[in-house]
Amino acid sequence: MVQQIRHNEPQYICIIPVERITANQDEEIMTFGVSADDAKKEGEKLLASTYGCNQSQVFELIQQARIEPIAQWCAPKEC
């Protein structure tokens, strides 16, 4: 699943460590949203649909997630 950054909207990124699922210590997934809650909800959906996590696993992984605004340099530049 690939998400695109939306032009001219506030953006947030949700970074979720998935080492417990994949056994790869450095593996993370990232989802985007127009709000912190939206980014988190996208992460929850991805964990359930792609990784097959149940509700308790999703809850546990989301508790470890970092949700941050995307830096201005990542935003599309207007010409």
Asked whether 18 and 43 are in contact (CB, 8 A), the reply is: no
Q: Which residues pair with 13 in a beta bridge?
A: 32, 68
Chain segment 18-63, per-residue pLDDT in tens: 988 888 888 899 998 889 999 999 999 999 999 899 999 999 999 9
- Indicate whether 7 belongs to any domain: yes
Q: What is the pLDDT of residue 56?
A: 94
Count of domains for the chain: 1
Q: What is the pLDDT of residue 13?
A: 93
- Indicate whether 73 belongs to any domain: no
Give CB contacts under 8 A, 24+ apart, made by 4-9: 5/32, 5/70, 5/74, 5/75, 5/76, 6/34, 7/76, 8/76, 9/34
- Indicate whether 27 belongs to any domain: yes
- Indicate whether 72 belongs to any domain: no
User: Does the global pTM surpass 0.85?
Assistant: no
Q: Which residues pair with 67 in a beta bridge?
A: 14
Q: Residue 11 belongs to what domain range?
A: 1-34
Cα pseudo-dihedral 11, 17, 22, 26, rounded to 10: 100
